[in-house]
Structures are given as structure tokens and as C-alpha cells.
Amino acid sequence: MAKKQRRAKNSDTQATQSRKRMLSREEIRKAALTLSQQSADLQAQAAVMQKNELAAIEIDGVGLLERGVSEIDRFIDNVDKGVNRAKRDKDRSSM
């Protein structure tokens, strides 16, 4: 027997809107800094592997990394769209 899908009490439109929120320049800068620091940590680990001539390691969580990178790519695309939309709205309001 197929499972029943639960529907949110709010309409689908409201559920989609609840995922959106305003982000300040500072919040985006902080996120970029965090990503930069994480990237540096990962690069440091790769350097240690190279120094110790380790060709490969077995680790858990590779799928998490792959999904996370894809999510970050999508988020950056959404930020780009938001910036373009805000610039367009600003230009229209100044006309």
C-alpha cells in the first residue's frame, strides 16, 4: 500500500516563500569567508597527503561533500539571480 503524502497546512506557495529570506551583504561575506576557510583546511590536508606520498585515503562522508558542493553551486546561482533582480529593480525605481 502506498504511503500517503503529507501536505503542509499552508499552501505550496507559502511553503516555498518560507524558504526564502533576505540576506545582507555581511551575511554573504561571512558565508564566503567560512567557505574560504574550509577550502584552505581541505587544501592543507591535500598538501599533507602529498608530503607523505599518500595517493589515496579511505574516508566516510564523500557523498556529503559532493552533495554539499552541488548545493553551494545552486546557492551561488540563486545569489546571482537575487543580485541581478535587485539591481534591475533598483534601476527601474530610479527611472
pTM assigned to the model: 0.70
Across the chain, what does the average pLDDT equal?
88
Q: What percent of the chain has pLDDT over 90?
A: 75
**Mean of pLDDT values over 17-34:** 92
15 close to 8: Cβ distance less than 8 angstroms:
yes
Percentage above 70 pLDDT, the chain: 82
Which string of DSSP letters, residue by residue, matches 30-61?
HHHHHHHHHHHHHHHHHHHHHHTT------S-
Q: What values do phi and psi take at 54, rounded to 5? A: -95, 115
Q: What is the pLDDT of residues 38-63, one digit of tens each?
A: 999 999 999 999 999 999 999 999 99
Decide if pLDDT at 16 tops 60.
no
State the amino acid at position 4 in one-letter form. Answer: K
Query: How distant, in Å, are the alpha carbons of 4, 31, 53, 79 from that of 72?
Result: 32, 10, 31, 10
- Helix, strand, coil share (%) of the chain residues, nearest 5: 70, 0, 30
